[in-house]
């Protein structure tokens, strides 16, 4: 049978206010417990009463290593059965031609399929035929094949090219790099403004991302917009150079990021 000294324990619990916990057992010594104390250091505290708020942007020009082609066939015929048969045959020819160039089935998919009646008179709703638009998306891991695949598809019966888009498989990498450069630009801008005002920046009080995006080529003035809106521009090359004989000019895509930051002034 255990003695009272073996089973009787006195405990002082932690309550709000940070009272230290001690466990005392009669007849047995307890090891000392470390006590953690939070000490404020006023010397390193940020002054948020005097601040400078800036924005920074960066753009990385990237040579793309992937391509997406959207092309297909628009067919018309008097009956739904005829137009469907005609369109299906044309699409099969296009897919077969693309496969012969080494494009895998997983990289070929239907992107758009639409069947429409062709009305002679909208008042009487009389139909004279039917139209089918069938568009397939073709993803290329080698951008040097873009022109070759496009020509092969056109020769096989494609009569519609919706889009040829280039992008990078390393988008996350370049996006994160653009974010870092944008923050660097904001930091440098804040230091410049603070110096011009006879002071210097302290610690960062707030950071927010305004946007990130990428532009394919110069469409929608993407290239020009990136050139006048950023503080930092960086060029990143691809390991897949385009051959001189390709009819498609790949160019570069622009990966862009913009941040806002607030700095304390010392």
Query: What are the sequence ranges of the domains in the chain?
Result: 4-35, 51-64+170-265, 66-167
Residue with tokens 């239907």: 110
Token pair recorded at residue 90: 């044309």
pLDDT at position 220 over 50:
no
Model pLDDT for residues 113-144, shown as the tens digit of each residue = 999 999 998 888 899 999 999 999 999 999 99
Do the Cβ atoms of 98 and 119 come closer than 8 Å?
no
Model pLDDT for residues 3-12, shown as the tens digit of each residue = 444 433 433 3
What span, in angstroms and rounded, lies between the C-alpha atoms of 263 and 97? Answer: 59
Model pLDDT for residues 48-105, shown as the tens digit of each residue = 789 999 999 999 999 899 999 999 999 999 999 999 999 999 999 999 999 999 999 9
Do the Cβ atoms of 71 and 140 come closer than 8 Å?
no
CATH superfamily, region 66-167: Protein of unknown function (DUF541), domain 2 (3.30.70.2970)
CA-based nearest residue to 203, from 189, 191, 217, 218: 191
Mean pLDDT of 11-23: 36
- Percent pLDDT > 70 in the chain is 70
Do the Cβ atoms of 76 and 83 come closer than 8 Å?
yes
Shared fold status for 51-64+170-265 and 66-167: no
CATH superfamily, region 51-64+170-265: Protein of unknown function (DUF541), domain 1 (3.30.110.170)
């Amino acid at each position: 049978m255990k003695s009272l000294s073996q089973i009787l324990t006195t405990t002082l619990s932690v309550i709000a206010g940070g009272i230290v916990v001690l466990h005392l057992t009669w007849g047995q010594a307890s090891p000392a417990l470390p006590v953690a104390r939070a000490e404020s250091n006023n010397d390193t505290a940020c002054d948020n009463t005097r601040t400078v708020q800036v924005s920074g942007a960066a753009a990385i020009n990237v040579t793309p290593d992937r391509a997406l082609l959207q092309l297909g066939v628009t067919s018309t015929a008097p009956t739904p059965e005829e137009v469907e048969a005609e369109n299906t045959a044309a699409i099969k020819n296009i897919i077969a031609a693309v496969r012969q160039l080494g494009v895998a089935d997983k990289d070929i998919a239907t992107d758009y399929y639409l069947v429409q009646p062709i009305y002679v008179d909208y008042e009487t709703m009389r139909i004279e035929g039917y139209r089918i638009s069938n568009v397939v998306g073709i993803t290329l891991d080698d951008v040097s094949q873009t022109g070759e695949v496009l020509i092969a598809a056109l020769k096989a019966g494609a009569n519609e090219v919706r889009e040829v888009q280039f992008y990078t498989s390393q988008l996350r990498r370049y996006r994160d790099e653009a974010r870092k450069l944008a923050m660097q630009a904001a930091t440098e801008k804040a230091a410049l403004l603070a110096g011009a005002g006879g002071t210097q920046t302290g610690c960062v009080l707030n950071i927010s991302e305004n946007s990130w995006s990428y532009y394919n080529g110069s469409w929608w003035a993407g290239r020009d917009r990136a050139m006048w809106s950023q503080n930092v521009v960086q060029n990143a090359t691809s390991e897949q150079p385009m051959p001189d004989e390709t009819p498609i000019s790949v160019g570069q895509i622009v990966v862009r990021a913009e941040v806002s930051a607030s700095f304390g002034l010392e």
